[in-house]
């Protein structure tokens, strides 16, 4: 395309270019912007290979990034499973990650409160940590009525979605098992 842009004729007004395109249906009508058009995927800062977060087909995705923002997500033609194709949900991934309604701040609702309040992330983590420790202590079961060890609490339940990474599930199972919290469940059942 580029060498084309250099052409003198491209800089003439369309009316004059019509000398070579009498009906003015083709190149004479092309605007300068159109002549220089390139896809944003070509000008992206980087592209990373990813996997669709929706169903478990596991379609390959290519995520294009410009100025620290995701600008396009499309199918990865290299994937042997999806061969570059995506369903409507996968194709909407960019809107999903850039959603205007996406939550960005920690919210806290006090008991009996009628509305949210924003609190700092660190404070929230501290509060949660305290509640985990207190609830665990309060509801600990060291052994069953036959005196056999239980080492557990049923005062804390955990329910996870199946869109978490395996590495995340691993740390969660590891931590909560060590905490003695046995009521660990996920979407796989539901």
Partner 1 sequence: MSSNAKLLTLDAGAWPDTYGEMAKPRMGFFTDTSICIGCKACEVACKEWNHVPEDFKGFTGKSYDNTLHLDADNWRHVAFIEQRLPAALDGDTATESLVQIAARRELEEDSGLDTLQEGEGLRWLMASDVCKHCSHAACLDVCPTGALFRTEYGTVVVQADICNGCGYCVPACPFGVLSKRKPDGRVWKCTLCYDRLRDDKEPACAQACPTNSIQYGELTELHERAEARLQEMQDAGQTSARLYGAHPDDGVGGFGAFFLLLDEPEVYGLPPDPVVTTRDLPGIWASTGAAAVALAVGIAAACIGGRR
Partner 2 sequence: MPGLGTSFGRGGATTFQQDLQNSDVIVIQGSNMAECHPVGFQWVMEAKQRGAKVIHVDPRFTRTSAMADLHVPIRAGTDIAFLGGIVNYIIENERWFDEYVKHYTNATTIVDEGFRDTEDLDGFFSGWDPETGQYDISTWSYAGTEEHTAGGHKEQGAAVSGEQAHGAHGMKLDRGRPPKEDETMQHPRCVFQILKRHYSRYTPELVEEVCGIPKETFLQVAETLCQNSGRERTGAFCYAVGWTQHTVGVQYIRTAGIIQLLLGNIGRPGGGILALRGHANIQGSTDIPTLFNILPGYLPMPHPQAGPDLDTWVGNTSPRTGAWGDMRNYAVSLLKAWFGDAATGENDFCFGLLPRIDADHSHYAAINRMLDGKCPGFFVVGENPVVGSANGRMQRFALANLEWLVVRDVQLIETATFWKDSREIETGELKTEEIGTEVFFMPAASHTEKDGSFTNTQRLLQWHWKAVEPEGDARSELQWTFDLGRRVRRKLAGSTEPRDRALLNLTWNYTTQGPHDEPDAQEVLQEIGGRHADGSFVEKYQDLKNDGSTSCGSWIHAGVYKGGVNQAARKKPHTEQNWVAPEWGWAWPANRHIIYNRASADPSGKPWSERKKYVWWDEEQQKWTGYDDPDFVPDKPPDYQPKKNDIGLDALRGDSPFIIQADGRGWLYAPAGLMDGPMPTHYEPHESPATNPLYTQQQNPLRQRFNRPENPYNPTDPEPGWDVFPYVVTTYRLTEHHTAGGMSRTVPILSQLQPELFCEISPELAAERGIEHGDWATIVTSRTAIEARANVTDRVKPLRVEGRTIHQVGLPYHWGPGGIVKGDTANDLFPLVLDPNVHIQEVKAATCDILPGRRPRGPDVLRLVEDYKRRAGVKVVGE
Partner 3 sequence: MSTRPEVPSATLETRPRRNGKGERAMVPEAEPRSYYDQPVIQEPVWTWEIPIYFFVGGMAGASAGLAYMAHLQGNNELSRRAWAISLAGIHVSPMLLISDLGRPARFLNMLRMFKITSPMSVGSWILATTGGAVTVSAAHAWTGVFPGLARSGRLVAALAGMPLATYTGALIGNTAVPAWHKARHFLPFVFAGGAAASAGAAAVLATPGKHAEPARRLAVIGAALEIGAAQGMEHAAGFEGEPYKKGLPGALSKLATATTAAGAGLLAKGGRRRSDRTLAKVGAGLLLAGAFTERWAIFRAGFKSASEPKYTVGPQRERIRKGESLGAARMPGNRPG
Instruction: List interacting residues with partner 1 (CB under 8 A).
Output: 1, 4, 14, 20-31, 33-34, 37-42, 72-75, 77, 84-88, 90-92, 94-95
The DSSP symbol for 56 reads T
Name residues whose C-beta falls within 8 Å of residue 72's C-beta, 6 or more positions apart in sequence.
40, 41, 44, 63, 64, 94
Question: Whose Cβ is closer to partner 1: residue 4's or residue 120's?
Answer: 4
Residue 172: Cβ-neighbour burial (10 angstroms; 0-12, 13-18, 19+): middle
Q: Is 41 in the site for partner 2 (CB under 8 A)?
A: no
- Identify the residue among 16, 29, 37, 125 touching partner 2 (CB under 8 A): 125
Query: Which tokens is 145 given?
Result: 């009525």
Question: Whose Cβ is closer to partner 3: residue 22's or residue 68's?
Answer: 22
Which residue stretch of 6-14, 21-29, 34-42, 62-70 sits at the interface with partner 2 (rule: CB under 8 A)? Answer: 62-70
Q: Is 117 in the site for partner 2 (CB under 8 A)?
A: no
Query: Which tokens is 96 given?
Result: 């999903």
Residue among 2, 6, 27 at smallest CA distance from 16: 27
Q: Is 35 in the site for partner 2 (CB under 8 A)?
A: no
The entry of partner 1, partner 3, partner 2, none near residue 42 (CB within 5 to 8 angstroms by kind) is: partner 1
Smallest separation (angstroms) from partner 1 to the CB of 51? 16
Rounded-to-integer distance, Cα 190 and Cα 187, Å: 5
The entry of partner 3, partner 1, partner 2, none near residue 11 (CB within 5 to 8 angstroms by kind) is: none
Question: Whose Cβ is closer to partner 1: residue 21's or residue 141's?
Answer: 21
What is the signed CA dihedral for 145, 147, 148, 151, rounded to 10 degrees?
Answer: 80
The DSSP symbol for 28 reads G
């Amino acid at each position: 395309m580029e060498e084309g842009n250099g052409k003198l004729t491209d800089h003439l007004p369309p009316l004059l270019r019509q000398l070579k395109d009498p009906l003015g249906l083709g190149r004479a009508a092309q605007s300068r912007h159109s002549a220089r058009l390139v896809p944003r995927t070509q000008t992206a800062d980087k592209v990373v290979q990813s996997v669709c977060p929706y169903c478990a087909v596991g379609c390959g995705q290519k995520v294009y990034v410009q100025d620290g923002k995701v600008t396009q997500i499309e199918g990865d033609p290299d994937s042997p499973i999806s061969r570059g194709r995506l369903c409507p949900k996968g194709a909407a991934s960019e809107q999903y990650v850039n959603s205007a309604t996406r939550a960005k701040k920690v919210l806290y609702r006090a008991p009996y409160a009628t509305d949210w309040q924003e609190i700092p992330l660190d404070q929230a983590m501290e509060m949660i940590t305290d509640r985990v420790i207190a609830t665990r202590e309060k509801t600990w079961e060291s052994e069953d009525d036959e005196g056999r060890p239980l080492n557990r609490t049923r005062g804390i339940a955990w329910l996870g979605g199946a869109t978490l990474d395996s590495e995340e599930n691993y740390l969660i199972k590891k931590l909560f098992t060590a905490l003695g919290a046995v009521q660990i469940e996920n979407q796989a059942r539901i």
